[in-house]
């Protein structure tokens, strides 16, 4: 009688171990699915954030483009400077002319 009891207990322990392994495998699969879903959501959020930042950058550039100050500097650089060669340009609009430097800086910085 005692031998039967040991065999039953051994069988029950094997079944309990198998059930535990099945539960652990199920939990692992559910955890992987949950993690994959979260990663997909995070990727979508990162894409949305990137699009938002790109739109903000465009709007900041566009706002600067629409300011009268930018256009005054642009017209100053493009049409109100007269020079014949590089030396003439440097003498008239080089470091000694802060207004020309400011205009060039504003126009060149717009591209960035």
Asked if 72 and 49 sit in the same domain, the reply is: no
Over residues 92-109, the pLDDT tens digits come to: 878 888 888 888 888 877
Range of the domain at 86: 67-112
**Number of domains forming the structure of the chain:** 2
Within 8 A by CB and 6+ apart from 89, the residues are 81, 83
Over residues 37-70, the pLDDT tens digits come to: 999 999 999 999 999 999 998 888 788 778 888 8
Asked if 104 and 80 sit in the same domain, the reply is: yes
Asked if 39 and 80 sit in the same domain, the reply is: no
pTM of the model: 0.49
Asked if 10 and 49 sit in the same domain, the reply is: yes
pLDDT: which is higher, 92 or 20: 20
State the burial class of residue 29 (Cβ atoms within 10 Å of its Cβ: 0-12, 13-18, 19+). Answer: exposed
Asked if 54 and 71 sit in the same domain, the reply is: no
pLDDT cut 70: percent of the chain above it: 95
Asked if 4 and 53 sit in the same domain, the reply is: yes
Domain boundary among 58, 79, 95: 58
């Amino acid at each position: 009688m005692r031998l039967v009891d040991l065999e039953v207990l051994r069988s029950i322990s094997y079944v309990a171990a198998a059930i535990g392994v099945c539960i652990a495998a199920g939990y692992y699969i559910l955890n992987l699915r949950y993690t994959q879903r979260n990663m997909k959501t995070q990727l979508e959020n990162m894409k949305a954030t990137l699009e938002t930042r790109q739109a903000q950058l465009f709007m900041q550039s566009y706002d600067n483009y629409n300011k009268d100050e930018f256009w005054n500097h642009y017209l100053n650089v493009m049409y109100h400077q007269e020079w014949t060669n590089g030396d003439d340009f440097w003498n008239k609009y080089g470091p000694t002319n802060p207004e020309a430097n400011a205009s060039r800086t504003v126009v060149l910085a717009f591209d960035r």
